Amino acid sequence: MVAHSHSSFIILGVCSGGARFRPSDWAERLCGVMSAFGGEGRIGYSPYAQPGNSDGEKCVYVDVRIHDIEPKAYHFLENFAKDNDLKTIPWKPDAA
């Protein structure tokens, strides 16, 4: 059996060829898929998939802890980046 290593990463809104990914609200849309409605009837982003900005580029911060909760969600985010030819970089979340 092959052991797989999972880690936190950032999905950048830049394709491997350098073009910006569109639409411009892609990060918010992607994180919306991972969000949940709270008791007050408001939607909230998952603490494990957050839209943000890295060096002036839209991005999504993916915390590896999402893999422990729901591996399919983690793999969905990995595959989103791969399928759309988006750059990813390693990320170390701050310890809470």
Q: Quote the pTM value.
A: 0.87
For the four alpha carbons of 86, 8, 44 and 56, in that order, the dihedral sign comes to negative
| Segment 38-48, tens digit of pLDDT | 667 777 899 99
96 residues of the chain, pLDDT tens digit each: 444 578 999 999 999 899 999 999 999 999 999 987 666 777 789 999 999 999 999 999 999 999 999 999 999 999 999 999 999 999 988 754
Q: Give the Cα separation of 79 and 81 in Å (integer).
A: 5
Domain-wise residue ranges, the chain: 9-90
| Segment 83-96, tens digit of pLDDT | 999 999 999 887 54
CATH architecture of 9-90: 2-Layer Sandwich (3.30)
